[in-house]
C-alpha cells in the first residue's frame, strides 16, 4: 500500500511532518483570529465560543483531526530524530553552524515545550482543571463565559508571562517550520538565499503579535 511505503521511508516521514505541520499552522492562524474577538467585548467573544460549541459533531471532527495531526507530527519528529542519531551516533567534536538559524536549531526542544504548553493550555481554558492556580480569589472557571476566563487568567502576571514566553517558542517554531514544510513538499523554488523566508516570517510575527496581545492587554487593563 502506498501510504505504508510513504510512512516507512525517511522522505515519507518528512512529507507527513510537513503536511501535518501545515494543518496545525492553519489552525493556529484561525485560533489567533478567533481569539482577537476578546478585544470586542464579552458578548462577541462568548457568542463566538458558543457558536463553536454548537457545531456538535463538526467540532469533534475538527478536534480529532487536530489530535491526529499533532500525534503524527510528534511521532514523525521522534522517529526522524532516532534515524538521525543512528546515522551519526558520535556527535561532531566541533560544530560551526553555517546557514542554520536559532529557529532551526530549537525545533526539537521548542517542539517538546509547545507540546507541554498545549496540554497545559487545554487543561487551563477548555476543561478548567488547572484554572484555580491562574485566577484571583473569587474568580471561577465558567464553561460559557470564555471572555471572563481569559480576563481572570491573565490578570495574574506569571500566567501572562508563561503565555508570552510560550508564544516566543511558537514564533521560532513557525518561523522555521512554515518555511521548511513548503520546501520539503517541493512547493518553493530553489533559492540562492536559504535564509530568505518572507512569508513564514510574516506568519510567525503576525501569529506571535496576535496571540501575545491578549494576555498583555489584560495585564495592562486594556481588556477587563
Ligand atoms: C495567548 C494565546 C492564547 C489564548 C488567549 C488562547 C485562548 C484559548 C481559549 C479561551 C480556549 C477555550 C475556547 C473555548 O472553550 O471555547 C482555547 C482552546 C484551545 N487552544 Fe488556545 N489560546 C492561545 C494560544 C494557543 C496556541 C498557541 C495553541 C496551539 C499551538 C492553542 C491551542 C488550543 C487548543 C487545541 C484548544 C482546544 C480547542 C477545543 O476545545 O476544541 N491555543 N484557547
Question: pTM for the complete prediction?
Answer: 0.92
Range of the domain at 175: 2-87+102-219
Give the pLDDT of residue 95. 77
Whether 120 is in the pocket of ligand 1, judged by its Cβ within 6 Å, is no
Q: How far apart are CA 77 and CA 81, in angstroms?
A: 6
Residue 73 forms part of a structural domain: yes
Minimal-distance CA residue to ligand 1 atom 40: 126
Residue 94 forms part of a structural domain: no
Virtual torsion, Cα 17, 103, 204, 125, nearest 10 deg: 70
Q: How far apart are CA 80 and CA 10, in angstroms?
A: 7
Rounded to whole angstroms, what are the CA distances from 141 to 112, 118, 153, 219? 27, 18, 9, 18
Q: Which atom of ligand 1 is nearest to the CA of 48?
A: 16
Q: Which atom of ligand 1 is nearest to the CA of 163?
A: 1
Single out the residue of 73, 33, 20 nearest to residue 213, CA to CA: 33
Angle between helices 157-184 and 10-35 in degrees, nearest 10: 140
| Tens of each residue's pLDDT in the chain, 224 residues | 888 888 889 999 999 999 999 999 999 999 999 999 999 999 999 999 999 999 989 999 999 999 999 999 999 999 999 998 888 888 788 877 777 889 989 999 999 999 999 999 999 999 999 877 666 777 889 999 999 999 999 999 999 999 999 999 999 999 999 999 988 998 887 777 766 788 899 999 999 999 999 999 999 999 99
Whether 110 is in the pocket of ligand 1, judged by its Cβ within 6 Å, is no
For the chain, the domain total comes to 1
Whether 214 is in the pocket of ligand 1, judged by its Cβ within 6 Å, is yes
CATH code, domain carrying 52: 1.20.1300
* Residue at grid coordinates 454548537: 54
Q: Which atom of ligand 1 is nearest to the CA of 150?
A: 10
Residue 224 forms part of a structural domain: no
Rounded to whole angstroms, what are the CA distances from 117 to 140, 144, 159? 22, 23, 12
Distance 125 CA to ligand 1 centre (A): 7
Residue 39: phi and psi, rounded to 5, are -70, -15
Distance 206 CA to ligand 1 centre (A): 16
Task: Label residue 10 left, alpha or beta by phi (over 0 means left) and psi (-120 to 50 means alpha).
Answer: alpha
Residue 70 forms part of a structural domain: yes
Q: Which atom of ligand 1 is nearest to the CA of 167?
A: 27
Residue 125 forms part of a structural domain: yes
Whether 213 is in the pocket of ligand 1, judged by its Cβ within 6 Å, is no
Amino acid at each position: 500500500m502506498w501510504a505504508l511505503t510513504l510512512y516507512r521511508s525517511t522522505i515519507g516521514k518528512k512529507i507527513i511532518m510537513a503536511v501535518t505541520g501545515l494543518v496545525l499552522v492553519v489552525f493556529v492562524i484561525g485560533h489567533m483570529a478567533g481569539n482577537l474577538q476578546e478585544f470586542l467585548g464579552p458578548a462577541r467573544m462568548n457568542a463566538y465560543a458558543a457558536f463553536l460549541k454548537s457545531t456538535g459533531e463538526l467540532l469533534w471532527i475538527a478536534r480529532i483531526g487536530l489530535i491526529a495531526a499533532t500525534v503524527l507530527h510528534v511521532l514523525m519528529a521522534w522517529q526522524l530524530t532516532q534515524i538521525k542519531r543512528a546515522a551519526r551516533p558520535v556527535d561532531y567534536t566541533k560544530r560551526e553552524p553555517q546557514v542554520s538559524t536559532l529557529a532551526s536549531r530549537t525545533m526539537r526542544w521548542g517542539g517538546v515545550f509547545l507540546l507541554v504548553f498545549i496540554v497545559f493550555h487545554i487543561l487551563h481554558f477548555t476543561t478548567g482543571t488547572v484554572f484555580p492556580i491562574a485566577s484571583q480569589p473569587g474568580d471561577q472557571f465558567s464553561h460559557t463565559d470564555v471572555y471572563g476566563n481569559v480576563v481572570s487568567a491573565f490578570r495574574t502576571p506569571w500566567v501572562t508571562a508563561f503565555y508570552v514566553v510560550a508564544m516566543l517558542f511558537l514564533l521560532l517554531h513557525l518561523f522555521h517550520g512554515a518555511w521548511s514544510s513548503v520546501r520539503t513538499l517541493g512547493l518553493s523554488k530553489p533559492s540562492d538565499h536559504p535564509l530568505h523566508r518572507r512569508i513564514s516570517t510574516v506568519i510567525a510575527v503576525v501569529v506571535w503579535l496576535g496571540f501575545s496581545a491578549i494576555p498583555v492587554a489584560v495585564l495592562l487593563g486594556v481588556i477587563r
